[in-house]
Amino acid sequence: MGQLVAGKKALILGVANKRSIAWGIAQALHREGASLWFNYQNERVKDYVAELVAGLGGDIPLTECDVMKPEQVDALFEAVAARWGSLDILVHSLAFAPREALEGEFYTTTLEQWNTALAISAYSLVLCARQAKPLMEKAGGGSIITLTYLGSERAVKSYNVMGVAKAALEASVRYLAADLGPANIRVNAISAGPVKTLAAKGVSGFSSILKVVEEKAPLRRNVTQAEIGNTGLFLASDLASGITGEVIFVDCGYHIVGV
Ligand code: NAD
């Protein structure tokens, strides 16, 4: 075990199973000495998450929290305040859009699909940052990390309303960074290349996205969960103390390639 985040307390939102990007970040933070706290969205994923967390050993708290249920978000942060008193790291690695909105053409998006995607995938960061602020102030500062995708700035087939949600998320990162910077709280996003996770399976034609990246990215391969995890670790650590409001691409360089 290393020491990059030794003594830091990290709340990880968004583990559903062992393929989750949040799990990659959690493993890196655990390896480098952070204390962890996890949420799970609902009973459906509870057992998977509990089993993974148990594998890390020790007494790691696990709390149910659906970000669309304000009382559960309040209860989660109250529990963190009661047990830890402060918080150094918040990992926000969650998103959702109805499956029908992630196929076909974007212009068919309904208001309901739009509201769902933007509320869960973008507004929840604002909500969680607001809850984390007083706890991070008690720690003398903190690092908030969220996950985004290139579909925020390019029209990626089938990504549709999720691309709009990611654009809102990235703008929120900048506004939050501006608001929270004076309290020494940094807010950054990792723009990850495609990874085969539960959420990714919801995007129609996802396997062809993986194939194109493998062919065209400068590194000629797809990114790994561990590589995204290590970038999360870097952003959470004091090595990144001068970085805030950024979107950092971890995509084997795919986003720089032209025709
Ligand atoms: P995942 O399915 O493993 O994780 C998504 C998580 O979101 C799940 O744990 C799910 O429970 C949670 N979630 C959804 N709705 C929620 C709600 N209402 N309340 C609480 N939690 C909720 O998939 P993932 O790929 O690890 O996704 C994590 C993040 O990474 C997402 O923001 C996703 O958009 C982003 N991302 C993924 C990829 C990729 O290719 N997999 C690429 C770039 C960015």
pLDDT tens, position by position, 240-257 = 999 999 999 999 999 999
- Cβ(128)–Cβ(73) under 8 Å? yes
Question: Alpha carbon 14 to chain centroid distance?
Answer: 7
Number of alpha helices (DSSP H) and beta strands (DSSP E) in the chain: 9, 7
- This prediction has a pTM of 0.98
Confirm whether the ipTM is greater than 0.90.
yes
pLDDT-derived band at 1 (thresholds 50, 70, 90) equals low
Q: Which atom of ligand 1 is nearest to the CA of 120?
A: 18
Strands 89-92 and 35-40 come out as unpaired
List the alpha helices (DSSP H) in the chain: 21-31, 43-55, 70-83, 111-118, 124-138, 160-180, 198-201, 206-216, 225-236
pLDDT tens, position by position, 35-83 = 999 999 999 999 999 999 999 999 999 999 999 999 999 999 999 999 9
Query: How many whole angstroms from 180 Cα to the centroid of ligand 1?
Result: 24
Residue ranges per structural domain of the chain: 9-250
Q: 198 CB under 6 A from ligand 1?
A: yes
pLDDT tens, position by position, 130-185 = 999 999 999 999 999 999 999 999 999 999 999 999 999 999 999 999 999 999 99
Which position among 40, 107, 123, 149 bears the catalytic label?
Answer: 149
Q: 117 CB under 6 A from ligand 1?
A: no
Bridge partners, residue 10, by sequence: 36, 89
- Cβ(92)–Cβ(14) under 8 Å? yes
Instruction: Indicate left, alpha or beta for 243 from its phi (over 0: left) and psi (-120 to 50: alpha).
Output: beta
Q: Which fold has domain 9-250?
A: Rossmann fold (3.40.50)
Bridge partners, residue 38, by sequence: 12, 62
